[in-house]
Structure 1
């Protein structure tokens, strides 16, 4: 079955073992089904509406790294992320550039001093990268599920460039129950737990972005697949 067509039936059959190797966890409730409005959209990954612009947030820089795998060996749950860029008429935009960046499992960003724990990551570029969309407007990345830092719900920053003159800056988010499950059962997140963490209902940026910024997710073996349709006024 094509990865661009993850069906709800398939999602309902996916289960996962916790990091401790104990009881099985039913991940089926974390398959967020929202019908796409065009044949060529990633199934269930969003609706055809203009993605709201959100704050760029801290820690953006362009490392000029065109790469699909961006983790650089950082520990965490593997996240296969697809971002599909379309215009306002739901038509995919081949060749669109997508930049993403996010923190590691401990809430640390690359490339900046004064990170959690007093870390200085200046000169590093983990969890950053650029991809150009394929013929269906899809840019694909392999990364890890982001950790948390105080005051923000878990998120991934992105910039979508439908052409050389325009850019949409946004953030994508995850279902709160899914995030809590990962943080409580999957290493290394489980060593921190969720005490002190912020989730979508307490994050003003996530609330402002709304449902259109919530990624479609499904467990795929030991990894998590996530997808988001980003519609821009190109």
Structure 2
């Protein structure tokens, strides 16, 4: 993780001080999470399948750092893949992708406003879960684009079968403060769609909201989510490049 600047730290501290997430987690639930070795308080909820959304591509990007120099608030994204009874799934493939601070995706031709990112791969990557079912990506907090609230996309694969396609969301107070405080997210127009207005966020439910905290001792931003899956389930699409290469 690259060192946080004074601006990054100030932005994160203010955003976390205003976001109500940590205060709403009961102590008993926090204890259960710690005892079970889980990384978040959504506690093995089976995540809802939602639309893949824009611009999934399949480059073989087996990597943890997906920033490629993009500006924004540095963020460690940690996902833990488990079954409904909280059993970690090792060796699952997790793909993530999201837009940059200004709402632009990589790998897309003829984006609106004249942008063309065809052949670029920023803010995309793949990891395999470790023995605890965890993957970690080094990225930035996502920006936004018209028509959607703040979100990240991900897919989970077991063997060569997609078992879940979903999205991750963030507390709205956190979104507002980061966008207001960090210049990388400065835009000439304000966001028109927030969590409460976003139909995909509603379909995903409260279990799709990441737990966000500041890590110690580096003071970095960490966003974590426990992703409960049904191993015998199946999403749309089959990709097998990773196992062919292995």
Number of the residue aligned with 1:183: 179
Residue number among 4, 7, 16 corresponding to 1:27 in the alignment: 16
- Structure 1 residue 162, shift from structure 2 partner: 3.2
Q: 1:186 to 1:222 in 2, by over 3 A?
A: farther
- Asked if 1:211 is matched to 2:196, the reply is no
Structure 1: 4+ residue segments shifted above 4 A:
none
Tell me how far apart the structure 1 counterparts of residues 183 and 220 of structure 2 sit (CA, whole Å).
13
Distance 2:136 2:52 in 1: 20
CA distance in 2, matches of 1:225, 1:85: 17
Specify the alignment match of 2:228 in structure 1: 231
1:162 aligns with 2:155: no
1:151 & 1:41 partners in 2: Cα distance?
37
How far apart are the structure 2 equivalents of 1:178 and 1:144?
14
Unaligned runs of 5+ in 1: 1-14
- Do residues 66 (structure 1) and 62 (structure 2) align? yes
Distance 2:178 2:10 in 1: 11
Is the partner of 1:27 in helix, strand or coil?
helix
**Which one is further off, 133-142 or 26-35?**
26-35
Aligned to 2:107: 111
Quote the residue 2:138 is aligned against.
142
Scaled by the length of structure 1, the TM-score of the pair is 0.84
Partner in structure 1 of residue 240 of structure 2? none
SS in structure 2 at match of 1:146: coil
Q: Tell me how far 1:26 sits from its aligned partner.
A: 6.3
Q: Cα RMSD over matched residues?
A: 2.2
Q: Specify the SS of the correspondent of 1:160.
A: strand
Q: Which has the higher strand share?
A: 1
Aligned to 1:5: none
Asked whether the equivalents of residues 73 and 140 of structure 2 are also in contact (C-alpha less than 8 Å), the reply is yes
| Superposition pairs of residues 48-87 of structure 1, within 5 angstroms | 48-87=44-83
TM-score scaled to structure 2, two decimals? Answer: 0.80
Considering fraction of residues, name the structure with more helix.
2
Task: Write the distance in 2 (CA, Å) between the matches of 1:212 and 1:41.
Answer: 18
Structure-1 residue corresponding to 2:243? none
Deviation by residue 1:73-107 (Cα, 9 ceiling, x = unmatched): 01000010000000121101011110000000010
Unaligned runs of 5+ in 2: 1-7, 232-246
The aligned residue for residue 11 of structure 1 is: none
Q: Is the 8 A contact 2:170 2:210 kept in 1?
A: yes
